[in-house]
């Protein structure tokens, strides 16, 4: 399978062999489609998180639950992504949003990778408007149970649980996204945005390995990752793989599911709790 992360040089050498996808998304309500239309990498199609990479939100399942496999397959097919296509996805945030699509494709057996640095590190002219590919054949595949975790798994102290949100949200500082302040007791803070250099590219695999090891990751531990709604946690999961660790599991409902169950405790501060 393709490596979880590729750089712009790799893309230039393999451009005719991949489907390039713009998967940017903004939590502040800005239009990701408008941003794509205003300027995207040449030939890139657009895939929307809310309508194509997530199911119906609720307080029970969280803000971005996985779509049904049939729904996801129809969406990919309509976008022009087929069973045998290799997908390279990017955004304008170091890959923390595009990671969701890449993770979804990889866990269902498709070749997909993040474009390191995304649109912000592209040195050519951007294209405007929308790119449309012919519809393709994309077969439904079930979400693999061994790559997913539920709220009870994430609550168990037997598992190593990583929180991919910014450290301020982990500590419990007020913000507009989380329904309740804090983190899952026992979870370790490994903010996905700290996987990135100041230039918006991934730090080296060795540095990533040190970061995760400092949080308790070993080859033997069962690692579960969550974030606010199961999106940016995928960046930590891809970074784990890029660093040479075994694949972890995604708690899809993440804090948006956990925090809405008021019977479950929340920890605050810098310590796991």
Task: Show which residues are catalytic.
Answer: 227
Sequence-separated (6 or more) residues with CB below 8 Å from residue 20? 11, 41, 43, 44, 45, 87, 88, 89, 90, 115
Judged on CB neighbours under 10 Å (0-12, 13-18, 19+), 142 is exposed
- Name the E strands within 2-146: 5-6, 18-22, 45-46, 86-90, 112-115
Residue 72 host element (H or E): helix 69-79
Q: Which two tokens stand for residue 65?
A: 């639950």
Indicate the burial class of 174 (C-beta count within 10 angstroms; 0-12, 13-18, 19 or more). Answer: exposed
- Euclidean distance between CA atoms 182 and 185, whole angstroms: 9
Alpha helices per DSSP H over the chain = 8-14, 32-38, 49-52, 69-79, 99-107, 151-155, 167-171, 205-214, 233-242, 254-258
């Amino acid at each position: 399978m393709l490596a979880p992360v590729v750089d712009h040089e790799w893309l230039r050498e393999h451009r005719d062999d991949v489907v390039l996808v713009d998967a940017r998304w903004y939590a502040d309500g800005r239009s990701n489609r408008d941003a794509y239309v205003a300027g995207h990498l040449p030939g890139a199609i657009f895939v929307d998180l809310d309508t194509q990479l997530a199911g119906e939100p609720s307080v029970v399942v969280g803000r971005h639950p996985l779509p049904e496999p049939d729904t996801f397959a129809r969406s990919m097919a309509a976008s022009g992504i087929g069973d045998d296509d290799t997908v390279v996805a990017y955004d304008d945030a170091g890959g923390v949003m595009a990671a969701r699509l890449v993770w979804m494709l990889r866990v269902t057996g498709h070749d997909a990778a993040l474009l390191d640095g995304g649109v912000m590190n592209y040195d050519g002219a951007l294209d405007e408007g929308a790119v449309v590919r012919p519809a393709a054949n994309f077969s439904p595949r079930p979400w693999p149970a061994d790559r997913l975790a539920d709220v009870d798994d994430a609550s168990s102290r037997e598992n190593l649980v990583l929180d991919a949100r910014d450290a301020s949200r982990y500590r419990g500082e007020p913000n507009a996204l989380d329904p309740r302040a804090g983190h899952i007791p026992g979870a370790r803070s490994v903010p996905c945005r700290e996987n990135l250099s100041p230039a918006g590219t991934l730090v080296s695999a060795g540095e990533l390995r040190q970061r995760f090891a400092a949080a308790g990751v070993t080859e033997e531990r069962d690692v579960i990752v969550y974030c606010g709604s199961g999106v940016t946690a995928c960046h930590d999961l891809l970074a784990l793989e890029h660093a040479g660790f075994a694949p972890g599991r995604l708690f899809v409902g993440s804090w948006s599911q956990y925090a809405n169950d008021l019977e479950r405790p929340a920890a605050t501060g810098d310590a796991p709790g």
